[in-house]
Structure 1
């Protein structure tokens, strides 16, 4: 990894590196309930175009990504998304997550998104701290919401912390 960092739109050609970063997050047991990364086709079809970003170094290596899904197909929820952000383990603690989340927030606000939400495992303290600094608020904890089927937490019920951020222009 080299020094300069840029944020740009995600491309299908980024998928091998995105998948590797996603797989590393899955291996921790504290990033997602998913046991395996999806195929590119499944990932691509489930994510919105707005805010689908990668952080790359000056050599073009993907160091992290952020993307969002609609929370509902109902028109009344058109401005509400659920997002995910992942950073390559070797790129942790370099401010990449902050830059990705800031760029994501700016992109979603330009697109008229008024609420960004996510569920984070309480053990993922780095993600919780990142989102706290980015202006997300903790709505509550969903206790024992799902039973882990893989990794270091196999067979254990897990909690998630619900977070949200309202757009600066939101009337709420």
Structure 2
């Protein structure tokens, strides 16, 4: 992976981050969302210490990863849900793995014990990436939601911290 730098996701990256998000949405196998949110909504939903961008040598955003709290209940304080998106032209270069590694490091340091996500079963590249990064499949939520009028399944994955005691 040449000339890729992982950095904190900041407001200055907003336009490019949301464009990468929309590109993933438009492909149809990344999320039930049909439109990227505006920056204010995105920023409010993502935990500040657990969001990163991958930048090329010119400072262009190649991808991003971010985590959100799954609940405001104290019992779930160490559980987050994450998303990772890579620009279509930057795929196959290790960008997503570098982003996941940064997220894992930040969550380990922050006392997070579980990182989870839901992935469409058709998104085989994301499922393989997550498996290589230490995530395991928990199960499949069948026909959990509709996207463009079509029922979709979601594979639940999680990574439990080895620091969990």
TM-score in terms of structure 1 length: 0.94
Distance 1:13 1:28 in 2: 25
Deviations 1:134-156 (CA, angstroms, capped at 9, x unpaired)? 000000000000011xxxxx211
1:1-12 paired onto structure 2 within 5 Å: 3-12=2-11
Distance 1:73 1:3 in 2: 40
Cα root mean square deviation, aligned: 1.0
Distance 1:59 1:147 in 2: 39
Distance 1:11 1:62 in 2: 11
**2:50 aligned with 1:51, yes or no?**
yes
CA shift at 1:51, angstroms?
1.7
Q: What corresponds to 1:151 in structure 2? A: none
Structure 1 runs (4+) greater than 4 angstroms displaced: none
Q: Which ranges of structure 1 fall in alignment gaps of 5 or more residues?
A: 149-153
State the aligned residue count. Answer: 165
CA shift at 1:104, angstroms?
0.6
Q: What corresponds to 1:165 in structure 2? A: 159
Q: What corresponds to 1:118 in structure 2? A: 117
Deviations 1:56-101 (CA, angstroms, capped at 9, x unpaired)? 0111000000001000000110000000000000000000001110
Distance 1:3 1:109 in 2: 26
1:19-168 paired onto structure 2 within 5 Å: 19-148=18-147, 154-168=148-162
TM-score in terms of structure 2 length: 0.98
CA shift at 1:168, angstroms?
1.6
Q: Which ranges of structure 2 fall in alignment gaps of 5 or more residues?
A: none
